Structure 1
Amino acid sequence: MIEVYTDAAASGDPGPSAAGVIIKQGATLIEHSFYLNERNNHEAEFLAVIKALEVCREDFPDEIISIRSDAKIVIDTIEKGYTKNEKFSPLLTTIQDLEENFPYVFYKWVPEKQNKNADRVARAALLKHTKLR
């Protein structure tokens, strides 16, 4: 099973945003960061999960994936499998489509203190991009 930690950082609501993804395979940690353009924080959190699933589709096909996020709204929405929010609906559909690449995908809410590495990577990506502007 592959453990994946996701987080997002945004500057403004909406504003520039980025995602951090940490993939833990045994004792190995793999970091990925993505600039997400102008998003609100919740959209960025959904996109962090999408980016994580895309990376895992490429690097860990056919593995069981366990995604951990400190964004309760994202985890709750994915676990329910629906949302009334028009902005979240296409993001949820994308996540559900990506899940088909794996035998099983687990989702777990984790407290912020257990998600510090993904937060660090997301903030660094946001800072890097905003300094380049």
Structure 2
Amino acid sequence: MIEVYTDGASSGDPGKSGAGIYIKKDGNELEYAFPLGVVSNHEAEFLAVLKALEVCQKEFPGEILSFRSDSKLVVDAVERNYIKNEKYAPLLQRINEASDTFPYFFMKWIPEKQNKHADYLAKKGIQLND
């Protein structure tokens, strides 16, 4: 099983944004920081999950994925397969489609203090927009 920590960050809301992905597998740790352009903080959180799924599709196809995020909005949306704000519905749909390519996909909410590494990488992703 692969543990995947994701976080999205924005400098402004909306503003320059980044995605941070921290992956633990078999004692190895992988780090990714992606620029996301100008989006809202909530969009950055959804996009971070999508970016992580893209990485996992490329690097770990067929693996069991256990995602962790400090975004209650994203975790609740994925768990319930429902989002009240229609603005985020296409992002949820893309997450569902990408996660369906894996045998098992779990998502769990964690407090911010347990997601510091992904947060650091997301902030690094903001700087990559330039």
Place the TM-score, normalised by the shorter chain, in its bin.
Answer: over 0.9
In the other structure, the counterpart of 1:102 is 102
Could you tell me the TM-score, scaled by structure 1's length? 0.94
Q: 1:24: Cα distance to partner? A: 0.5
SS of the aligned residue for 1:75 comes to helix
In the other structure, the counterpart of 1:79 is 79
Q: 1:84: Cα distance to partner? A: 2.5
Q: What pairs with 1:1-133 in structure 2 (closer than 5 Å)?
A: 1-129=1-129, 132=130
Name the CA distance, whole Å, in 2 between partners of 1:87 and 1:33: 24
Q: Is the 8 A contact 2:68 2:107 kept in 1?
A: yes
Unaligned 5+ runs, structure 1: none
Q: Is the 8 A contact 1:43 1:87 kept in 2?
A: no
Could you tell me the TM-score, scaled by structure 2's length? 0.96
One-letter code of the match for 1:125?
Answer: G
Q: Is the 8 A contact 1:46 1:91 kept in 2?
A: yes
Note the alpha carbon deviations across 1:50-72, whole angstroms, 9 max, x for none.
Answer: 00001001100000000000001
Unaligned 5+ runs, structure 2: none
Name the CA distance, whole Å, in 1 between partners of 2:114 and 2:27: 16
Q: 1:26: Cα distance to partner? A: 2.1
In 2 relative to 1, CA 33–80 (structure 1 residues): closer, same or farther, beyond 3 Å?
A: same
Of all paired residues, the percent bearing the same amino acid is 55
SS of the aligned residue for 1:3 comes to strand
One-letter code of the match for 2:45?
Answer: E
In 2 relative to 1, CA 13–24 (structure 1 residues): closer, same or farther, beyond 3 Å?
A: same
Number of paired residues?
A: 130
SS of the aligned residue for 2:87 comes to coil
Name the CA distance, whole Å, in 1 between partners of 2:21 and 2:92: 18
